[in-house]
Structure 1
Amino acid sequence: MSETAHLWLFFSLVFGIVVVPGMDMAFVLANAFAGGRRSGLYATAGVIAAGICHVVVGVLGLSALLRLVPMAFDVMLLLGSAYIAWIGLALLRGGGTFAPVLETRRRNGWTAFRQGALTNLLNPKAYLLMLAVFPQFLRPEAGAIWLQAAILSLIIAGTQFAVYGSLALAAAGSRTVLAGNRQATMLVGRAVGVLLVLVAAMTAWQGLRGL
């Protein structure tokens, strides 16, 4: 297989993982609906930064540790689900209004960035990528491992930016359209809250099955 075909195959696999709805996608949407384009893009940047961290720790061998200690992976699932459920339940308790739940992210993009990074660091899909996919695309005969990892991480970051960034812009645009309709805004808020709780429940179920 040529190097170009090798990279295209990796991109296809990464894209297939990223576009599946999950914790990162739900969190970016919640931020974009709450704080608009700026907040959604900061959250996207946080997710991308955490993705780079996944690559670094994967190359350093943390993936091997998680493979040897499966319970650590299940604990990550439970922590991530609890975090996302907290945000979703806060939205539902607030009557579907975003302001009380994500107010600080409107004023401080760093908060959206930091919490977006935390969401991805606790995201089981990211560890699935590092455990099952990433190592297969590191070929010692192709040159320096660090350079290959850097190229693959750029593909991951670019894919995340394209998918989550587009969703953030779309959600922010919908937020602008709904700004004058409080009832519609509340319905959207509740829908996002339910989405977050469902994602958290499915993630927690996976974690509990593994314990």
Structure 2
Amino acid sequence: MPELDVLLVFFAAAVALGLAPGPDNIFVLTQSALYGRLAGLVVTLGLCTGLLFHTTAVAFGIAAVFSTSTLAFNIGKLVGAAYLLFLAWQALKAGKSSLSAEERVEPSLRQLYRRGIVMNITNPKVAIFFLAFLPQFADPGIGPLVPQLLVLGFLFIVATVFIFGLVAWGAGFLGEWLKTSPTAQLVLNRIAAVVFVGLAIRLVASQR
């Protein structure tokens, strides 16, 4: 188990990283604005489930594959980009066909949760980031690395839930206003589509 001062520094770093604009918190913001606070919180839980996957991968060395294999890295980011483009297409269709709150077909909580998982797991940069970030706070001199890395990963998830939960809550106010404005719903769906396309392009262009 890392020392308390190390855990505090790590938690502060994780909070700062959560506050920095990035694909995941932008994704939570758009989903919360479109579908409400609960949707944003469920997406957050999905993203954090993906972080559990990455934490386990780092702890047991699987993530090293993405940092050493160009093919694995490229396949991962192409799958992630394809999924983001699929979400962009769905947002465009919603913008054109569902203008009233009664007529909108909103994704189920299960679908939103799955979106968060897929969004996180298919981003190979998260695996590489965890591989570079978590070991910096682990010390082989105080015990086995696997338990330490799992603890650090869990702490990172706690910080992510806290920050992204605040993002979801804040964006929910925007969602409440959108329910009374069909035009705003249309505009936000178009904006969400553009955001998803932009995230897909950013992911495809990313380097290890």
Structure-1-length-normalised TM-score: 0.83
Deviations 1:109-138 (A, max 9, x none): 222112211111012442232221112222
- Which aligned runs of 4 or more in structure 1 are off by greater than 6 angstroms? none
CA distance in 1, matches of 2:132, 2:148: 17
The structure-2 alpha-carbon separation of the partners of 1:10 and 1:60, relative to structure 1 and needing over 3 Å to count, comes to same
CA distance in 1, matches of 2:154, 2:122: 21
1:5 aligns with 2:5: yes
**Following TM superposition, by how much is the alpha carbon of 1:65 offset from its aligned partner in structure 2, in angstroms?**
2.0
**Partner of 2:143 in structure 1?**
143
**Partner of 2:89 in structure 1?**
89
**Following TM superposition, by how much is the alpha carbon of 1:152 offset from its aligned partner in structure 2, in angstroms?**
0.6
Q: How many residues align?
A: 203
Greater shift in the superposed pair: 124-133 or 9-18: 9-18
The structure-2 alpha-carbon separation of the partners of 1:137 and 1:170, relative to structure 1 and needing over 3 Å to count, comes to same
Contact residue 89 and residue 197 of structure 1 kept, 8 A: no
Structure-2-length-normalised TM-score: 0.84
The structure-2 alpha-carbon separation of the partners of 1:75 and 1:59, relative to structure 1 and needing over 3 Å to count, comes to same
CA distance in 2, matches of 1:83, 1:4: 39
Contact residue 63 and residue 131 of structure 1 kept, 8 A: yes
CA distance in 1, matches of 2:114, 2:171: 20
Q: Percent of aligned positions with the same letter in both sequences?
A: 26
CA distance in 1, matches of 2:124, 2:94: 28
CA distance in 1, matches of 2:148, 2:206: 32
**Partner of 1:132 in structure 2?**
132
**Partner of 2:35 in structure 1?**
35
**Following TM superposition, by how much is the alpha carbon of 1:67 offset from its aligned partner in structure 2, in angstroms?**
2.4
The structure-2 alpha-carbon separation of the partners of 1:18 and 1:80, relative to structure 1 and needing over 3 Å to count, comes to farther
1:172 aligns with 2:155: no
**Following TM superposition, by how much is the alpha carbon of 1:171 offset from its aligned partner in structure 2, in angstroms?**
1.6
CA distance in 2, matches of 1:85, 1:14: 28
CA distance in 2, matches of 1:64, 1:150: 16
CA distance in 2, matches of 1:75, 1:16: 29
Structure with more of its chain in helix, by fraction: 1
CA distance in 2, matches of 1:159, 1:91: 29
Paired residue secondary structure (1:180) = coil
**Following TM superposition, by how much is the alpha carbon of 1:35 offset from its aligned partner in structure 2, in angstroms?**
2.5
1:201 aligns with 2:201: yes
Contact residue 104 and residue 111 of structure 1 kept, 8 A: no
**Following TM superposition, by how much is the alpha carbon of 1:192 offset from its aligned partner in structure 2, in angstroms?**
1.9
CA distance in 2, matches of 1:111, 1:162: 22
**Partner of 2:156 in structure 1?**
156
Root-mean-square deviation (Å): 2.5
1:18 aligns with 2:37: no
Contact residue 178 and residue 184 of structure 1 kept, 8 A: yes
CA distance in 1, matches of 2:21, 2:30: 13
CA distance in 1, matches of 2:18, 2:188: 23
Structure 1 portions without partners, runs of 5+: none
**Following TM superposition, by how much is the alpha carbon of 1:95 offset from its aligned partner in structure 2, in angstroms?**
2.8
**Following TM superposition, by how much is the alpha carbon of 1:89 offset from its aligned partner in structure 2, in angstroms?**
3.0
AA of the residue aligned to 1:57: A
**Following TM superposition, by how much is the alpha carbon of 1:93 offset from its aligned partner in structure 2, in angstroms?**
4.0
**Partner of 2:45 in structure 1?**
45
